[in-house]
Amino acid sequence: MTGLSKFLLFAFVIIVLVLGGLWLVGGKPRDFRTELLIDAQPADVFPFLYEPALRKKWVDGLRDSKLQTDPPVQLESVFMTKYERKEHPFEAEETIIRFDVNEMVSIRSQTPTAQLTLVVRLEQAGEKTRVNYSVHEALHGIARFQAAIAKSKTQELINGEILALKNAVENRPNRISIFDDATADEDGDDE
């Protein structure tokens, strides 16, 4: 074996080891959490966790979400959801995997680059509602490499979303029905 052949073989082995290490490090599932208090009762907050028209008011980049299963929204309901975020637009198949009225919603979101499990828990806290928001993220494909070398923006994203949820709930005009917002969006009368 010539000196050049040995060098190329050595370089190849190093590249394979580096890429393998990045793949393993970037592929490790990650968890993100945040919580806050909302000045509203859990029954007033709960519809914002699953109703598409209300989710659009606080979920970053959510542009369209169509129910693929029979109404009403419930356990095992499936949505095709379109997002437009700064990085790029993408679609996700979202399935409600836990639905405890006025207490908790858990949604599994499958995108081309990740599987996310979003869990939002509500607890009565006096006259307010404590909201615990967590995201479990498992990346796929090239996103695994990117995650190994770049700082995740997921924590920043969920911090912004939970504040947007708080604002959407607390600044919502008093209405007779919580579903008036959904009707207004469908009629094009959204704020």
Helix axes 142-149, 3-26, angle to 10 degrees: 90
Domains, the chain: 3-186 (3.30.530.20)
The answer to whether 146 and 19 are in contact (CB under 8 A) is no
What is the spatial distance between Cα 20 and Cα 15, in angstroms, rounded to a whole number?
A: 8
As beta bridge partners, residue 98 has 106
DSSP string, the chain: --HHHHHHHHHHHHHHHHHHHHHHHHTS-EEEEEEEEESS-HHHHGGGGT-HHHHTTTSTTEEEEEE-SPSSP-TT-EEEEEEE-SS-EEEEEEEEEEEETTTEEEEEEE-SSEEEEEEEEEEEETTEEEEEEEEEEEE-THHHHHHHHS---HHHHHHHHHHHHHHHHHTSPP-SSTTHHHHHHHTT---
The answer to whether 91 and 68 are in contact (CB under 8 A) is no
As beta bridge partners, residue 136 has 31, 117
Rounded to two decimals, the pTM is 0.76
Q: Token pair for residue 130? A: 């404590």
Q: How far is CA 134 from the centre of its chain?
A: 9
Any idea how long the chain is? 191
Per-residue model confidence as pLDDT tens for the chain (191 residues) = 788 888 877 777 777 776 666 555 556 788 999 999 999 999 999 999 999 999 999 999 999 999 999 999 999 999 999 999 877 899 999 999 999 999 999 999 999 888 999 999 999 999 999 999 999 998 877 776 666 556 678 889 899 999 999 999 999 886 444 444 444 444 444 44
